[in-house]
Amino acid sequence: MSSAIERRPLVRAGLALSDFTERWFPDAFVIALLAVLVTFVAGLAAGEAPRKLVEVFGSDFWVLIPFTMQMAMVIVGGYVVASSPPVYRLIRLLAGIPRSPRGAVAFVAFFSMATSLVSWGLSLVFTGLLVHEICQRVPKVDYRAIGAAAYLGLGSIWAFGLSSSAALMMATRSAMPPALLAITGVIPLRDTIFLWQSAVSALVIMLASIAIAVWSCPREEEAKTQEDFGIEYRPLTIAVERNPAQRMEGSRALANAVAALGLVYVVLTLVQKGGLAALDLNLFNFTFLMVGLLLHQTPRAFLKAVAASVPATADVLIQFPFYAGIFGLISKTVLSARLEQLFVALSTKETFPLLVAFYSAALGLFVPSGGGKWVIEAPYVMAAAKTFHVHLGWTVQIYNAAEALPNLLNPFWMLPLMGILSVRARELAGYAILQLVFHIPLVFLLCWLFAGTLPYVPPVAP
């Protein structure tokens, strides 16, 4: 272990915490199953009839199928775009810009967060590939520090961006469970991620994160490099077979024509509905798939990229139905009213934003899923926000800001990046937890401060 780690108590503590979570935190699916049982027992304790609890769990199990598919497509679309030849050429071009280890870490941190505002799926793949390319040009950069910088998008501001699962769900009528729709109505993106308060918060967190990443980067003589980890550089290759008998599969004209048709639809829709504020999950995913098809040029290359992305969707596909069952156990039983009453009893209008932020961050340690966790929280959190007359859109953004905090501790969302970088969670966690120490007070302050700048607007009846 390097002297740099020994001299930094926060990084040493981060590694110890990461070792603890790797040993004692089970797979996220196991946590989802435990959450079902805990919620069921809580319902019994609240006085609900056992039969009703069983019935709502089963009847609501499939209620999130549209949302489940939409979340899986966020991953597919992000991977397809990031792994396309034009984007990979851009990555290699960008990799030639940094000249020093600290400059490289700052550079990766910036692009990790900037791309996460477009899509968290894009961010993980884009910056993972960027790290590999930069390490060939700046070989003395610390591989742990730059790897953790590549994760900052998921650990800071991704949910302020276009792929925010909570904001997109609230803006998409078809993605919302009927019980939640009845509480809040549809909340357009102009009242969540496109608030000026959201933009300022994202900018402040981004600047702070870059500063911390640069400050914590070891000097060249203290660095543990990619070579020290024994990781061999392998450039991304997009192999496309050229079989004359399968001309349609290699047809650029076919792919380009369909992609152009789809993108024209996207432009027309945005123009007719008022620009990006009209974006919803369906249009977001549709856009990424059409751009991916255009960038890959042929149906065969596009399908290979899709196939490579599918394993990363497995956790979403199997876990979200269980989250839907939990939603039913809460929203359709006495638990929803009891939790709403608890939130109201424990807070005032002024302290409500802090309570929501704390609760969302704490729950995120055990339910590492932005969309799935929001489904669990939304019924009683939004009902309490209505009681206190807190701006509903900013309540969603409080959730978004706090939801990223546990990502810096729980390695669940690191998995795709760790696969690209060939590292273990403990090798990134020290620097991630160092970020967390500074993020917690900053995020809580921003959530509380801006809550007082927004008037309450009653929801529009669905």
Contacts for 303 with CB less than 8 Å, ≥ 6 apart = none
Instruction: State how far the Cα of 396 lies from the Cα of 400, in Å rounded to an integer.
Output: 6
Asked if residue 344 lies in contact with residue 381, where contact means CB atoms within 8 angstroms, the answer is no
Q: What tokens were used for 346? A: 């424990």
Which residue in 36, 74, 32 sits closest to 313, CA to CA? 74
CA distances from residue 322 to 10, 125, 172, 325, 373 in whole angstroms, order as listed? 36, 27, 21, 5, 11
Asked if residue 323 lies in contact with residue 375, where contact means CB atoms within 8 angstroms, the answer is yes
Q: What tokens were used for 247? A: 């001309």
- Indicate the pTM of the whole model: 0.78
Instruction: State how far the Cα of 148 lies from the Cα of 126, in Å rounded to an integer.
Output: 14
User: Tens-of-pLDDT digits for all 462 residues of the chain?
Assistant: 444 444 566 556 555 655 665 566 666 678 778 888 988 999 999 899 999 999 999 998 998 788 788 878 888 888 889 889 899 899 999 999 999 999 999 999 999 999 999 888 888 888 988 998 999 999 899 898 899 999 999 889 998 998 888 898 898 887 788 888 889 999 999 999 999 999 999 999 999 999 998 888 887 777 788 888 787 777 666 554 455 545 556 678 888 899 999 999 999 988 887 677 667 778 888 999 999 999 998 888 899 889 888 877 877 788 888 888 887 888 788 887 887 788 888 888 899 999 999 988 887 766 666 677 788 788 888 988 999 999 999 999 999 999 889 888 766 667 677 777 877 777 787 788 889 989 999 999 999 999 999 999 888 765
Instruction: State how far the Cα of 394 lies from the Cα of 454, in Å rounded to an integer.
Output: 8
Asked if residue 57 lies in contact with residue 329, where contact means CB atoms within 8 angstroms, the answer is yes
DSSP 187: -
